[in-house]
Amino acid sequence: MIAVSDKILVSESILTEYFTCDLQACRGICCVEGDSGAPLTQEECTYLETEWPRYIPTMQNAGVHAVEKQGPWTLDIEGDTVTPLIEGKECAYAFFRD
């Protein structure tokens, strides 16, 4: 276990296991908080390169601009492929319901 603080312990498997989105559990908070986009496989990057325009109708204008500027995926500080962020905050593909 890794001690994040005196009240929070995190399993070491977080360093080696692949991220899986679970909207039922997080309610999308992972998409709007953090310092990196969601991890992507090479297959997902290839898919986004051609298919991201299909998502434009559901994206925020700022998200579309982020993808146009950064590309449909980007590299994080560790060199991993991730989704682009809007001004270093939420995922470019995040959308909000009223």
pLDDT digits (tens, 9 = 90+) for 80-93: 999 999 998 888 98
Note whether residue 15 is domain-resident: yes
Note whether residue 74 is domain-resident: yes
Note whether residue 37 is domain-resident: yes
Note whether residue 9 is domain-resident: yes
Note whether residue 29 is domain-resident: yes
In this prediction, residue 21 carries a pLDDT of 62
Note whether residue 88 is domain-resident: no
Note whether residue 45 is domain-resident: yes
Summarised one tens digit per residue, pLDDT across range 29-77 is 566 666 788 888 899 999 999 999 999 999 999 999 999 999 999 999 8
Note whether residue 63 is domain-resident: yes
Q: What domain range is 21 assigned to?
A: 2-82
**Domains of the chain: total:** 1
Dist. CA 39–CA 16, nearest whole Å: 13
| β-bridge mates for residue 39, sequence order | 82
